[in-house]
Amino acid sequence: MSLLIKNGEIITAERRFFADILCRGGVIVEIGQNLSDSSAEIIDATGKYVFPGFIDPHVHIYLPFMGTVSKDDYATGSKAALMGGTTTLIEMCCPGRDEDPLEAIRLWKSKAVNISSCDYTFHMGVTRFDETTTESLKSIVAEEGITSLKVFLAYKGALGIEDTELYKTLSFAAENNLIVTAHCENADLIYENQQRLVSEGKTGPEWHEPSRPISVEADGCHHLMTFAEATGAEVYVVHTSCVPAVEAISAARARGVKAHIETVAPYLTLNSSHAELPDFEGAKYVMSPPLRSPEHGEFLWEKIADGTIDTIATDHAPFDFETQKRMGDPANALDAAMQLTGQPGNFTLIPNGIPSVEERIKILYNDGVLSGKIDLQTLVRAASTNAAKIFNLYPKKGAIEIGGDADLVIWDPEFSGEISVTTHSMATDYSAFEGKKIKGRAETVTVRSQILVRDGGWAGKGGEGEFLWRK
């Protein structure tokens, strides 16, 4: 069955123009004026934008982390992504230090296969580097189709790695033409700050940001840049939140380091005051690196607009408020937190993360495009095309081109609505964007021609997505 999208305004990273798009066999076969195909399903996109499917290059769907496991699975997570216009997910595969990497990537894949409605791939987390790691990683590249790695400089004692392991991972990546994504914060400084603050009785979620100030993130970025420079590895800094972090990476780029910069949607619409809300509400906004004061968000928008920041992801990390974030509630000291973690509640026990895979494009469209901070083509570039280019998916993904996958988002700019937990598709019991008024929505969304969102409602069955093998 063919699909013909007529009369829409096509927006790509390079240009905008009015044309029809004919799709057959899951790919785009023709782009032009007055196209026809008597066997095709026709969608009239008059007055609408047609975007390439958006790519979220940093999500967590299955994440065993901080004593619990993230709330979404691929059924809910990919549905939520598609309802928001995201057609491809790149998930972080995050094995524990004692887990076998090959078994881990197979486990992570098994969570998605025949369940995900989005197309998907993974960044392989390197959480230990010993004498067996080189062979495991070679197998993961050759036999599992993965070409990007992930390291954590934070989360000491859990997912975080030591400097010798970082050096070996980056050297391996440089030799094997892989890209290394990295969470950059100085783990030792975080630990010292956490101990000091908790011992001073500063236990609420509002102390999460002071335990991981901008200097801690900038130091992590500088550290990664030093190692990238020494090894020649290509690196990609995930969830960059603040001015000195972007500056540290930009300075390294000027020295010739191959470094990409990602920021994430929560930093562009929320700020540190959200994590200061009373009665433990602030826990809903605890993520790492933390939400910053508003001037950092404004700076990030400027750096998206001028192209310094390559991509906008979400770092979707979905944890429930009542049963999971509450593990760090000081008021829970004598019951739930104690039972769950063996410690009195404090901010260090709040599972880090903000559920946001569904809301990214709405946030970027409203706070970015409609408020005049970025144009539509920058939206496409930062939320789709650049990720496809950096992670070996272009032009199959991230483009509207003949031969490319028919992953398309027909966007209705006239729609008015409001974000709410009562209507979202994510599995979490709260929305960090509750009550936000929004214009525009993904009205029709396709993955390889399959219509998975129709008239703004779910039209999928589940399992339509495919694993994206990367060479």
| Residue from 47, 3, 115, 58 nearest 467 by CA | 115
Binding mask 45-84 for ligand URP (x = CB under 6 A): ---------------x------------------------
Q: Is 328 in the site for ligand URP (CB under 6 A)?
A: no
Positions in 150-189 near ligand URP (CB under 6 A): 183
CB of 375 to ligand URP, least distance (A): 28
User: How many whole angstroms separate alpha carbon 218 and alpha carbon 293?
Assistant: 15
Q: Is 329 in the site for ligand URP (CB under 6 A)?
A: no
User: How many whole angstroms separate alpha carbon 396 and alpha carbon 207?
Assistant: 44
| 237 and 221 Cβ atoms separated by less than 8 Å | yes
User: How many whole angstroms separate alpha carbon 243 and alpha carbon 435?
Assistant: 29
| 400 and 31 Cβ atoms separated by less than 8 Å | yes
Q: Is the dihedral of CA 19, 42, 3, 414 positive or negative?
A: positive
Binding mask 165-194 for Zn ion (x = CB under 5 A): ------------------x-----------
Instruction: Find residue 445's DSSP bridge partners.
Output: 409, 453
287 binds, among ligand URP, Zn ion, none (CB under 5 to 8 A by kind): ligand URP
255 burial via Cβ count (<10 Å: 0-12, 13-18, 19+) = exposed
Q: Is the dihedral of CA 382, 383, 388, 390 positive or negative?
A: positive
- Beta carbon nearer to ligand URP, 173 or 238: 238
- Beta carbon nearer to ligand URP, 271 or 444: 271
Q: Is 246 in the site for ligand URP (CB under 6 A)?
A: no
- Beta carbon nearer to Zn ion, 165 or 315: 315
Binding mask 293-322 for ligand URP (x = CB under 6 A): ----------------------x-x-----
DSSP 13: S
- Beta carbon nearer to ligand URP, 242 or 374: 242
CA atoms within 13 A on the CB side of 444: 22
- Beta carbon nearer to ligand URP, 48 or 123: 123
Place of tokens 């974000």: 419
Q: Is 412 in the site for ligand URP (CB under 6 A)?
A: no
User: How many whole angstroms separate alpha carbon 424 and alpha carbon 430?
Assistant: 9
Q: Is 217 in the site for Zn ion (CB under 5 A)?
A: no
Q: Which two tokens stand for residue 358?
A: 């569904």
- Beta carbon nearer to ligand URP, 24 or 111: 111
Among 287, 313, 379, 393, binds ligand URP (CB under 6 A): 287
With CB under 5 A as the rule, give the number of residues binding Zn ion. 2
User: How many whole angstroms separate alpha carbon 224 and alpha carbon 200?
Assistant: 32
CB of 229 to ligand URP, least distance (A): 24
What torsion, rounded to 10 degrees, do the Cα atoms 273, 428, 262, 414 define? -90
CB of 66 to ligand URP, least distance (A): 9
Positions in 305-334 near Zn ion (CB under 5 A): 315
Residues at the site binding Zn ion, with contacts judged by CB under 5 A: 183, 315
Residues at the site binding ligand URP, with contacts judged by CB under 6 A: 60, 183, 239, 287-288, 315, 317, 352-353
